Amino acid sequence: MMSIVNQPVAVNLKQGSVTGLQSDGVACFFGLRYAQAPTGALRFAAPEPLGAQPPFDATQPGPVCPQRPSRLRNVMGDFEAVQDEDCLRLSIWTPGVDQHKRPVVVWLHGGAWQSGGGAVPWYDGTRLAARGDCVVVGVNYRLASLGWLFVPGQTANVGLLDEEAAVRWVFENIEHFGGDPARVTVMGHSAGGFNIAAMLARKPLFKRAILHSASLGRGFREAEQAAHLSRVFLQAAGAQTLEQARALPVAALLAAQQADAVMAALQEEGANRSLFCPVVDGEIFASPVAPLMQQAATRADVLLGYTRDEMAAFPGTQRNVASQQLGEKIFGAPSRQWAQDARAAGRDAWVFEFAFGPNPEFGACHCSDLPFVFGNLESFTGAAMLQGMTPEHGRSLVDRMQTAWIEFIHGRAPGWEPSPAVRVFE
């Protein structure tokens, strides 16, 4: 039987019709808006709901949020994508635009709240959707100052509000793409994983989550420190007020991230955090935040884990005992504690450790597990972290990890004992 290649497929949504492409058993829809473009007066503001939209061509990748190159590009490689502030988009991969009501997995990328995109080739959901008979959704959200600038008296954490808006869009629309809104898992890596934990501390719609290397040990930034960093940042960008910052070219905001005064202020903080991250602002997140996060662990069944050599991916960090201990403090121990708290509340919780590191310089570093979940090994060709891997071992690890993840996405056990047990993938 001949495969179908690039056949248009249309879906009628409340906001308007969208047209994607069906190829080899998976229909792909790229760049679907889930909120209004956050430009002009909406820059730095909470996402606004969409109204009626004209027919949309969803056959080409949509833009990612404007960003600087990732600091991990020398380890995991890089990607090319159009950048635009009109970035509140999501992409969908589905085995069928039908009434089968498949489980859904919503992907929130990492990148230190400063880089990445939901539908870049690394995270193409075609293989996961086809093998798992599930609907995969990749989400863009605002990054760096556009999503996480904190000015007292203004709405904070708008990047998180973007993600919540995207999840809400999925619940309202995914049935049109063959998905079941009653079976939604939200999966995220690093900053994306932390953001899932933060959403669970609020009023989440979902009750199932997968956390990859969520930086739970770094925690939130307090309001006073966030306000100080934002003041220094705005001055470096050439603005005194948020209104002035709304009028700046986005290039000025990106350049300010590297300003000497900004780097010095971040170094003075001494917290080993990203320049931008979630803030205890008093409204989206109240102080003290620790009890909220403990409660968050009780609200979802979870599959979560970390890599053995997390910190070896980061510039200026060697793979040694000290960096492993820091990775354990930021990623490992807090993940296991989250699982224990979930189990104590009657939730299902499974823990994994990713320990495959073919390149001895980096070992099983931050991000090294992601190629095997999505199965897109060719998109990581040349990635330093995978140098030395044989094709046979790569395929075997893809098979083992995807089998487990798909079981969880379908609402079943991934294939090992729940927490406190830890499944090691190597």
Active-site positions read 190, 310, 366
Place of tokens 């820059």: 43
Structure tokens at 215: 């930086």
d(CA 56, CA 64): 17
- DSSP classification of residue 83: B
Q: What is the SS3 assignment for 93? A: strand
Alpha helices by DSSP H, listed for 238-316, are 242-246, 250-256, 260-269, 290-296
Place of tokens 């966030």: 226
With beta carbons less than 8 A apart as the criterion, state whether 163 and 35 touch: no
State the pairing for strand pair 7-12/17-23: antiparallel
- Closest Cα to residue 275, out of 91, 29, 111, 100? 111
Q: Is 375 left (phi over 0), alpha (psi -120 to 50) or beta?
A: left
State the pairing for strand pair 102-108/135-139: parallel
Packing angle between helix 223-237 and helix 260-269, nearest 10 degrees? 170
Q: Which residues of 177-210 are buried (b: 16+ CB within 10 A; e: fewer)?
A: bbbeeebbbbbbbbbbbbbbbbbbbeebebbbbb
d(CA 284, CA 286): 7
How many other β-carbons are positioned within 10 Å of the β-carbon of residue 224? 11
**C-alpha to C-alpha distances, 153 to 162, 202, 283, 309, nearest whole angstrom:** 19, 20, 10, 40
Structure tokens at 89: 């988009």
d(CA 219, CA 322): 20
Packing angle between helix 191-200 and helix 158-173, nearest 10 degrees? 70
Output phi, psi for 127, to 5 deg. -70, -40
Q: What is the SS3 assignment for 18? A: strand
Q: What is the SS3 assignment for 261? A: helix
